[in-house]
Structure 1
């Protein structure tokens, strides 16, 4: 089960994607399908089959986004969060070997195509919640328990 939390930026990005799919991309592909269908025999028409498949993918994504946007709860930064790790925080951590990571804790709908975002549902995020700089967090990984030290926390 996905957590239904999202940052305002993430929510706006999903709304923008939905708007683009519905108002621009889908009408364009629908026109291509209609054009390809007008050429006659559809059984061997690659344009028709490809664009029809693409239209189904677009429709599936539109249905998903429409439903998902209704379920999501936007979480804005509150001044009371300063100095502690909460949803939406940027965190810099370091382990005993000196390996450093910098990432933002966001909702599961925001992590795709971003190497610097992790889901609030991730073990690392769960271990860091409510911690402060110089605190340590033990994270269970497939390789065993790892200890991370919090160097810095900030909010956008």
Structure 2
């Protein structure tokens, strides 16, 4: 995904990815290499749980490190504070109300820093695409795989 689609990210999101990379590369991976080396010296590797699990976990860590490196290299940091604040843009935190007046707060972030539980949604998600450009008071219809849902923009802040 490094081709035509930019990998927009907030400075906080990039810092979180960098911290995860540093933790894996600087702490977890060296400890695991040490355990694997110790386990390899214990003889038969085919029935050595520490060795087998360690090698498997090392491959997982290496794959994650590779992914994080690609994401960070392709990342284009966008400063939400530099956006026009009268409409929904990348980095906006938006309070929404649905037809039943149920309120929801979402922040539009890069696809690599999404966390639905924390209200951070990727900028290419259906709801974010529907909200981009909306102003306070606008109603937007979000096309979901199973249905459509209407939201009113209550407030926007950066």
Whether these two folds match at TM > 0.5 is: yes
* Counterpart residue number, 1:97: 100
* Counterpart residue number, 2:150: 147
SS in 1 for 2:111: coil
- Assess if the C-alpha contact under 8 Å between 1:3 and 1:108 holds in 2: no
1:85-124 equivalences under 5 Å are: 85-112=88-115, 114-124=117-127
- Rate the CA distance shift 1:103–1:140 in 2: closer, same or farther, 3 A: same
* Counterpart residue number, 2:8: 5
Paired residue total: 155
Query: Structure 1-normalised TM-score?
Result: 0.93
Give the unaligned 5+ runs of structure 2: none
- Assess if the C-alpha contact under 8 Å between 1:7 and 1:75 holds in 2: yes
Following TM superposition, the consecutive aligned residue runs of length 4 or more in structure 1 with deviations greater than 3 angstroms are: 112-115
Q: What's the CA shift for 1:144?
A: 2.9
SS in 1 for 2:113: coil
- Assess if the C-alpha contact under 8 Å between 1:6 and 1:74 holds in 2: yes
- Assess if the C-alpha contact under 8 Å between 2:8 and 2:76 holds in 1: yes
Determine if the alignment matches structure 1 residue 130 to structure 2 residue 133: yes
Query: Structure 2-normalised TM-score?
Result: 0.91
- Per-residue CA deviation, residues 62-92 of structure 1 (Å, 9 max, x unaligned), is 1111121110100002455212110011111
Determine if the alignment matches structure 1 residue 64 to structure 2 residue 76: no
SS in 2 for 1:10: helix
Alpha-carbon RMSD across the aligned residues, in angstroms, is 1.5
1:5 and 1:43 mapped to 2: Cα distance?
Answer: 45
Give the unaligned 5+ runs of structure 1: none
2:49 and 2:17 mapped to 1: Cα distance?
Answer: 31
